[in-house]
Copies of this chain bind each other. A is one copy, B any other.
Amino acid sequence: MPRWKPDAAERLQAAALDLFDEQGFERTTIAEIAQRAGLTQRTFFNHFTDKREVLFILSAELQQRIVQEIATCDDTTPPLDTVVRALEAVAETVLEQRRTVTARRHAVVTANPELHERELSKNAALTTAIATELHTRGHPRQTAFLAAGAAMLAQQAAFHQWTTPGETRTLSHLLTEAVHSLSTTVSNPATRKSHQR
């Protein structure tokens, strides 16, 4: 059963998840992670620059795929839809089959301030990469920033629901729903009008 990127990095992540769960992020050493994975510290450092990075094995590849999806999208598609379709494609081809480990990873990251801070950085970098790609495709800078940020906001809401115990709908489905909810929250014309001063 070949999975996406089934290598030492995944074994190290699985070991790190176990150890962070058992004894916390702070108290776990890189030596312990390598040992639990049946690998050497040297192998660890061949893959990761520090202890936090071991839980971000998909970040670079996800970002690359998302930007690539956007780059190949039909030019006439509005910017938010372009990003949402790219996120849906990646949800379907990469994340859905990794639901259990992704949910577990998410719980560990959320529980550890240092890991959470790294996650915020990665998300900000991804948002910037998406906005840059939209801008390259001709959208004004602010539109690109708002479309990227809005799509990532819906993605976060969907991801939170997707990793909730008992939830069975797919991430892609939940993302479509979250975009609709965001649309409702942001775009009541009566609201917008009454707000103008």
Contact = CB atoms under 8 A, between A and B. Distances in A.
Given A117-B120, A117-B121, A186-B80, A179 B157 contact: no
Chain A interface size range: 35 or more
A160 to B, nearest CB: 8
Main SS at interface, chain A: helix
Contact of A120 (B78, B120, B183, B197): B120
Contacts of A49: none
A93 interface: no
Interface in A108-143: 116-117, 120-121, 124, 142-143
A46 interface: no
A41 interface: no
Contacts of A181: 142-143, 146
A186 B195 contact: no
Contacts of A85: 195
Contact of A195 (B81, B149, B178, B188): B81
Nearest to A123: B120
Contacts of A142: 157, 161, 178, 181
A186 B183 contact: yes
Interface of A: 78-81, 84-85, 116-117, 120-121, 124, 142-143, 145-147, 149-150, 153-154, 156-157, 160-161, 176, 178-183, 185-188, 191-192, 194-197
User: Closest 8 CB pairs between A and B?
Assistant: A187-B187, A149-B153, A120-B120, A186-B186, A78-B191, A146-B185, A146-B182, A183-B187
